[in-house]
């Protein structure tokens, strides 16, 4: 059984310590240098990230980028960001000359990820981008190429890649505790509300439930099984064509085939509540996470019993770990780089193609 | 909350009473006439049925049919069946003239269901047949036709159709407690042992895991959702081609589309242990059964809480209810007749075709 202490020791940053800003220099000595992050797009999820970053030991918000002056004023006060580090979408290329900003975390509707990532990279800052990284693999590849060319790093906001119970299952799987892993079941869904939101706009979202919530099962299948799928089949159903317009998927079931013989069977839906369950099954054991990707505490068990590791806000751990990746060159247990984000887009492109054509689609990664 | 008493009252036979044979006449007066059943095929599952039938109030074993004389002798003594009611496969057509036998329960390898059903029907006795009813829909149709022609009834051994927690979920679904039902997840599998058993012989089994264990998810999807699917897609994977030969499926994932817009996503496998889970999700609630079809107590919960109904051996309830169907013309909540068995075979035929061709197969019922 792992203890809280074991878990904490397994991470690079001692995040039990929650220093006040005045103690940061002292904390830096202990934890390593601090990643100075500008948030781009100040919506609901950015607020969640900003709140969670209050308890980071290696990352802090030093800049803000928004199209809404009132938000900049409000957030500047709330998070102690000086006015000189606040930018609009018109003038933020000037971050290139601002040493207070190491990285920009892009938290906008999906279709804006690419253009913002290109601008941030051009400004010479590391790019952290919310998932899905872009609307499709072609765009994702542009982002990877642009960041490589600019000499900046590109990370995707895969907060689950740092979550303690998830990592414990991955450790057990690598240790052979489940035997030969042959099946993953991922159920990802919620009932979406307001029909006018950007998530239901094809141009802004690039699709429907798959881009927003189904991607958790796509990505989860990969990190739980520990391989990348080589084929996909998919079936789309739509019960509400008014709410879910052409090109906006309501419900997709999809299956992924893996090189080692495992299959993943997954659901992505905007029509059913509280679907947030991962199940991994092998010849000698199983692992279950439910909730598996929600913002609150993840609950898990394996054939050996419940997973008892402590909950820490995902975005707190994520941003501290991303600081270690960007500043120290740390290699995370599960990648969060542009290639990782790109793989999910390649798979999602294939899922859409499989659903459209009714045919199995073989997957080739760039 | 339902009590044991409520549940018992909801069934036709008061099976709390467990009469000794000497009390049967008294019990008959209370419960109705007794179905006199001959068991055909005295293997492991027949033994389970026979043991469970000891506590039936409306059905009892009055005949035995086997190819092994030692078994007939042993079972005759164990279950109090007179020697004159024991038959071999050579001479059992003589049951036609035996008033001690109303029905024959066929519990043989799958490929023998059809020829035995034809003989039993010809002998003028009701046919109860283990699932899968036959090797394919064509055979199933022959059985339905033969029984209709002979004027006997044909039932399939769907014991879950009488299981209390299963029926409670069906009641709740019909009452609208789950809202619009949109998703069913069925996981059916176990790790099969002895590679020489008939279940791994294509000629005897008619396939692999799908015929034996996957059929639970096929059938479960139908009774949980309450509709019959109109299309199917399927994907087959094989990790052990030595154990699972050509035509014997190891693992199949399959998806079913329903007229009301629901989708079922299911797994059938002979390579993973303890997969016995049903999950039904609707816009207002959910139901979960795990184990969902095993021989022991079924465990279930819904959004309203755990299901607390008592466990009664499934085969006991099944045989008492089948007595009511065959002798009183009772209509069960979920059908168990030949048409019901035939539907599953039509779907399984379509699953195999979909897996083989990689195409979606539209389902047409005869």
- How would DSSP label each residue in A6-23? HHHHHSSS-TT----GGG
- Judge whether residue A333 has pLDDT over 70: yes
Q: For residue A184, which residues of chain B lie inside 8 Å, CB to CB?
A: none
Mutate to test the interface with B, among A227, A253, A282 (most CBs of B within 10 A): A253
Nearest chain A Cα distance for residue B47, angstroms: 29
Q: Per the CB < 8 Å rule, is B271 touching A283? A: yes
- Judge whether residue A318 has pLDDT over 60: yes
- Judge whether residue A20 has pLDDT over 90: no
- Judge whether residue A3 has pLDDT over 80: no
Query: Is B275 part of the contact surface with chain A (CB cutoff 8 Å)?
Result: yes
Query: Is A252 part of the contact surface with chain B (CB cutoff 8 Å)?
Result: no
Q: Per the CB < 8 Å rule, is B272 touching A233? A: no
Query: Is B235 part of the contact surface with chain A (CB cutoff 8 Å)?
Result: yes
Q: Per the CB < 8 Å rule, is A265 touching B267? A: yes
Helix (H) or strand (E) segment spanning residue A174: helix A164-174
Nearest chain A Cα distance for residue B90, angstroms: 43
Instruction: Specify which residues B269 forms β-bridges with.
Output: B189, B251
Instruction: Specify which residues B187 forms β-bridges with.
Output: B267, B277
A285 in Cβ contact with A178 (< 8 Å) = yes
Per-residue pLDDT reduced to its tens digit, A113-172: 999 999 999 999 999 999 999 999 999 999 999 999 999 999 999 999 999 999 999 999
Choose among A323, A286, A282: nearest CA to A301: A286
Residue A356 φ/ψ, nearest 5 degrees: -70, -45
Cα nearest neighbour of B234 on chain A: A233
What is the reported pLDDT for B274?
Answer: 78
Of A180, A255, A266, the CB nearest to B235: A255
Q: Per the CB < 8 Å rule, is A283 touching B263? A: no
Nearest chain B Cα distance for residue A285, angstroms: 8
Query: Is B209 part of the contact surface with chain A (CB cutoff 8 Å)?
Result: no
Query: Is A290 part of the contact surface with chain B (CB cutoff 8 Å)?
Result: no
Q: For residue B183, which residues of chain A lie inside 8 Å, CB to CB?
A: 251, 267, 269, 272, 275
Distance of CA A129 to the CA centre of its chain: 8
What is the reported pLDDT for B24?
Answer: 52
Of A182, A233, A255, the CB nearest to B271: A182
Q: Per the CB < 8 Å rule, is A185 touching B187? A: yes
What is the reported pLDDT for A9?
Answer: 42
What is the reported pLDDT for B28?
Answer: 57
Query: Is A255 part of the contact surface with chain B (CB cutoff 8 Å)?
Result: yes
Q: For residue A257, which residues of chain B lie inside 8 Å, CB to CB?
A: 235, 237
Q: Per the CB < 8 Å rule, is B237 touching A272? A: no
- Judge whether residue A59 has pLDDT over 50: yes
Q: Per the CB < 8 Å rule, is A261 touching B235? A: no
Q: Per the CB < 8 Å rule, is B267 touching A183? A: yes
What confidence category does residue A13 fall into, taking pLDDT thresholds of 50, 70 and 90? Answer: very low
The rounded mean pLDDT for chain A is 93
Which residues of A form the catalytic set?
131, 216
Find the mean pLDDT for residues A242-254: 97
Query: Is A185 part of the contact surface with chain B (CB cutoff 8 Å)?
Result: yes
Q: How far apart are CA B309 and CA B165, in angstroms?
A: 6
Higher local confidence (pLDDT), B156 or A15: B156
- Judge whether residue A29 has pLDDT over 70: no
Burial B65-80 (b: 16+ CB within 10 A, else e): bbeeeebbeebbeebe
Tokens representing A190 are 């919620």
What confidence category does residue A28 fall into, taking pLDDT thresholds of 50, 70 and 90? Answer: low
Per-residue pLDDT reduced to its tens digit, A270-302: 999 979 999 999 999 999 999 999 999 999 999
Instruction: Specify which residues A301 forms β-bridges with.
Output: A288, A306
Nearest chain B Cα distance for residue A258, angstroms: 10
Tokens representing B151 are 């004027």
Q: How far is CA B177 from CA B76, B191, B298, in A?
A: 48, 36, 20
Query: Is B360 part of the contact surface with chain A (CB cutoff 8 Å)?
Result: yes
Of B182, B239, B265, the CB nearest to A272: B182
Q: Per the CB < 8 Å rule, is B263 touching A255? A: no
Nearest chain B Cα distance for residue A294, angstroms: 18
Higher local confidence (pLDDT), A225 or A14: A225
DSSP string, B291-337: SSSSSS---EEETTEE--PPP--HHHHHHHHHHHHHHH-PPPSS--B
Query: Is B286 part of the contact surface with chain A (CB cutoff 8 Å)?
Result: yes
| B 17-76 residues inside an 8 A Cβ radius of A | none
pLDDT tens, chain B, 366 aa long = 344 444 434 444 434 444 454 555 555 556 789 999 999 999 999 999 999 999 999 999 999 999 999 999 999 999 999 999 999 999 999 999 999 999 999 999 999 999 999 999 999 999 999 999 999 999 999 999 999 999 999 999 999 999 999 999 999 999 999 999 999 999 999 999 999 999 999 999 999 999 999 999 999 999 999 999 999 999 999 999 999 999 999 999 999 999 999 999 999 999 999 799 999 999 999 999 999 999 999 999 999 999 999 999 999 999 999 999 999 999 999 999 999 999 999 999 999 999 999 999 999 999
Choose among A86, A93, A155, A91: nearest CA to A126: A155
Of A182, A267, A286, the CB nearest to B183: A267
Tokens representing A246 are 């052409």
Surface-to-core class of residue B97, CB atoms within 10 Å of its CB (0-12 exposed, 13-18 middle, 19+ buried): exposed
Q: Per the CB < 8 Å rule, is A233 touching B358? A: yes
Nearest chain A Cα distance for residue B137, angstroms: 25
Catalytic residue among B36, B87, B105, B131: B131
Mutate to test the interface with A, among B256, B271, B359, B361 (most CBs of A within 10 A): B271
The C-alpha torsion from A156 through A162 and A167 to A168, rounded to 10°, is: -170
Mutate to test the interface with B, among A261, A266, A288, A359 (most CBs of B within 10 A): A261
Of B191, B263, B282, the CB nearest to A235: B263
Query: Is A263 part of the contact surface with chain B (CB cutoff 8 Å)?
Result: yes
Q: How far apart are CA A101 and CA A53, in angstroms?
A: 15
DSSP string, B257-296: E-TTS-EEEEEEESSSTTEEEEEEEESS-EEEESSSSSSS
Q: For residue A275, which residues of chain B lie inside 8 Å, CB to CB?
A: 183, 281
Of B233, B239, B257, the CB nearest to A182: B239
Strand order in the sheet with B154-156: B86-87, B59-65, B35-40, B103-106, B126-129, B154-156
Query: If you search the block for the tokens 């798959």, which residue do you land on?
Result: A210
Cα nearest neighbour of A266 on chain B: B265
Query: Is A251 part of the contact surface with chain B (CB cutoff 8 Å)?
Result: yes
Query: Is B255 part of the contact surface with chain A (CB cutoff 8 Å)?
Result: yes
What is the reported pLDDT for A32?
Answer: 87
Helix/strand/coil percent split, chain A, to 5: 40, 20, 40
State whether ipTM is beyond 0.90: no
Residue B98 φ/ψ, nearest 5 degrees: -110, 105
Q: For residue A265, which residues of chain B lie inside 8 Å, CB to CB?
A: 253, 265-267
Cα nearest neighbour of A239 on chain B: B261
């Amino acid at each position: 059984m792992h203890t809280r202490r074991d878990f904490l020791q397994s991470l690079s940053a001692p995040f039990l310590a929650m220093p006040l800003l005045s103690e940061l220099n002292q904390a830096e000595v202990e934890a390593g240098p601090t990643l100075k992050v500008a948030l781009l797009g100040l919506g609901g999820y950015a607020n969640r990230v900003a709140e969670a970053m209050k308890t980071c030991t290696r990352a802090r918000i030093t800049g803000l980028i928004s199209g809404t002056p009132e938000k900049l004023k409000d957030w500047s006060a709330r998070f102690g960001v000086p006015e000189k580090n606040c930018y609009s979408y018109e003038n933020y290329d000037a971050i290139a000359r601002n040493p207070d900003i190491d990285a920009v975390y892009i938290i906008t509707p999906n279709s804006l990820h690419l253009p913002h990532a290109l601008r941030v990279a051009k400004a010479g800052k590391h790019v952290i981008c919310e998932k899905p990284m872009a609307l499709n693999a072609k765009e994702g590849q542009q982002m990877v190429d642009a960041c490589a060319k600019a000499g900046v790093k590109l990370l995707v906001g895969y907060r689950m890649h740092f979550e303690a119970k998830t990592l414990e299952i991955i450790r057990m799987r690598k240790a052979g505790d489940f035997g030969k892993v042959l099946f993953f079941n991922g159920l990802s869904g919620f009932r979406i509300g307001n029909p006018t939101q950007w998530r239901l706009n094809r141009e802004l979202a690039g699709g429907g439930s798959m881009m927003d919530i189904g991607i958790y099962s796509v990505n989860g299948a990969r990190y739980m099984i520990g391989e990348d799928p080589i084929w996909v089949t998919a079936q789309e159903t739509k019960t509400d064509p008014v709410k879910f317009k052409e090109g906006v998927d309501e419900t997709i079931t999809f299956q992924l085939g893996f090189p080692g013989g495992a299959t993943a069977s997954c659901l992505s839906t905007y029509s059913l509540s509280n679907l947030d369950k991962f199940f991994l099954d092998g010849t000698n054991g199983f692992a279950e996470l439910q909730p598996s990707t929600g913002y609150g505490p993840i609950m898990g068990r394996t054939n050996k019993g419940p997973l008892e590791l402590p909950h820490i806000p995902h975005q707190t751990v994520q941003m501290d770990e991303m600081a270690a990746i960007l500043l120290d060159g740390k290699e995370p247990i599960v990648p969060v780089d542009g290639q990782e984000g790109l793989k999910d887009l390649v798979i999602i492109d294939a899922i859409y193609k499989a659903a459209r054509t009714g045919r199995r689609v073989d997957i080739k990664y760039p």
